[in-house]
Amino acid sequence: MNITFKELRNIKHSLPTGSISKMASELGVDEQTIRNYFGAEKYREGATVDRHLQPGPNGGIVHLKDTRILELAKQLIAEKQN
């Protein structure tokens, strides 16, 4: 799946408080891995995620091979809005 880096960051910023911890627990990964997925890869802790960033407009295009984190994030945002 392809998404702009800006869209990915907007999703991260739309998450309800505590979502990073909730997603990490549900998916069995550490919190930093979730943060890395949304573009915080400057930190050395946590696993790197299977994504590729192609330079371009809106921060570039991010190719995500595994969309489980993204799908869960969208679900949490939808629950917050309801």
In the chain, the number of structural domains is 1
Measured in residues, the chain has a length of 82
Domain of 10 in residue numbering reads as: 2-81
Rounded Cα distance between 62 and 24, Å, is: 21
What residues form DSSP beta bridges with 24? none
Residue 48's pLDDT is what? 55
- Structure tokens belonging to residue 38: 């949304």
Asked whether the CA dihedral 44, 28, 35, 4 is positive or negative, the reply is positive
What residues form DSSP beta bridges with 64? 51
The parts of the chain modelled with pLDDT lower than 50 are: 43
Residue 8's pLDDT is what? 92
**Please, where are the H alpha helices in the chain?**
5-14, 19-27, 31-37, 68-81
Residue 36's pLDDT is what? 87
Residue 47's pLDDT is what? 53
Single pTM value for the model: 0.80
